[in-house]
Amino acid sequence: AQKVTQTQTSISVMEKTTVTMDCVYETQDSSYFLFWYKQTASGEIVFLIRQDSYKKENATVGHYSLNFQKPKSSIGLIITATQIEDSAVYFCAMRENYAQGLTFGLGTRVSVFP
């Protein structure tokens, strides 16, 4: 069964700096997909970035990038040049195969201060 763990409850950073948050996962499958989502204060959940397990290159989208360490079953999210609007809860999620829905971690709350 798939499992996702986010151990950091909250992180505070200054604007324009870099924030890194951790996520480890458990799976028995050799092929799987890892996702990061952002939940804003209004409750809206938005997809940010995805990593396919068979790809060695770390995914990058805008100022979001991933640190995929497959041997450690780890997928960290890196946000560079943070902005106030990046303040939100970030969820790591995974899917082993199409027959399953996404499994989410507990989330990490990021607060960006001016």
| Distance separating alpha carbons of residues 105 and 81, to the nearest angstrom | 25
Pairing of strands 33-39, 45-52: antiparallel
Q: Is the dihedral of CA 84, 110, 47, 79 positive or negative?
A: positive
Place of tokens 């938005």: 46
Report the Cα 95 to chain-centroid distance in Å. 13
Residue 95 makes contact with other proteins by CB under 8 A: yes
Of positions 1, 30, 41, 44, contacts other proteins by CB under 8 A: 44
Residue 64 makes contact with other proteins by CB under 8 A: no
Residue 99 makes contact with other proteins by CB under 8 A: yes
Residue 30 makes contact with other proteins by CB under 8 A: no
Query: CB under 8 A: which stretch of 19-27, 62-70, 78-86, 102-110 binds other proteins?
Result: 102-110
Kindly tell me which of 17 and 31 has the beta carbon lying closer to other proteins. Answer: 31
Least separation in angstroms between CB 80 and other proteins = 22
| Distance separating alpha carbons of residues 112 and 55, to the nearest angstrom | 31
Least separation in angstroms between CB 8 and other proteins = 13
Alpha-carbon radius of gyration of the chain: 14
Binding stretches for other proteins (CB under 8 A): 4, 6, 31, 33, 35, 42-47, 50, 52, 91, 93, 95-107
